[in-house]
Structure 1
Amino acid sequence: MLGIQAHVTGSVERIVYQSRQSGLSILHVRVLGSEELITVIGSAETLSVGECIEGRGFWQKRVVHEDMLFNCHQLKRLSLPLNN
């Protein structure tokens, strides 16, 4: 799982950090079809809570927080709402 290319789809539950200048976003995302919340980091246009996103990237282990982080090299807003 670590370092392997993966795909995540879900809804933005919380915006931890968002830079309008660089586009960098750190998000808590509810995974489609699950109650699981994950942390996603990536560059995207301005996002809002409740919007649906799709990301392609890889999983990383965060040493400080001892949890997993999804690092996106491609993060985009989906136009249709997801039905969890």
Structure 2
Amino acid sequence: MSFILTIVFLLGQIDPAVAHRNSILYDKAQQAQSEFLTLLEPLVNIDSGTGNQTGLTQVENLVIQQLESIGATVKVMSQRL
């Protein structure tokens, strides 16, 4: 119970200027949400757990494709062990 009271007390100490929502940024994020989720869905549906090299390669290729589609230059570097 004392932990909860401490959290409530600390939340009351947050400066309202810091906690104030930037409405312009929020509106732009809301407008982009649907497109973002459409891009994110195939990425999170890839089985890419630790050690699943096939899935990790699929994620890598998808991210590269998306970055290049917006004009980014991507250089893939192999990890040295």
Q: Please classify the TM superposition score into its range, dividing by the shorter chain length.
A: under 0.3
TM-score normalised by structure 1 residue count: 0.18
Bigger radius of gyration among the two: 2
Specify which structure has the higher proportion of strand.
Answer: 1
Larger relative contact order, structure 1 or 2 (CA cutoff 8 Å, min sep 6): 1
TM-score normalised by structure 2 residue count: 0.18
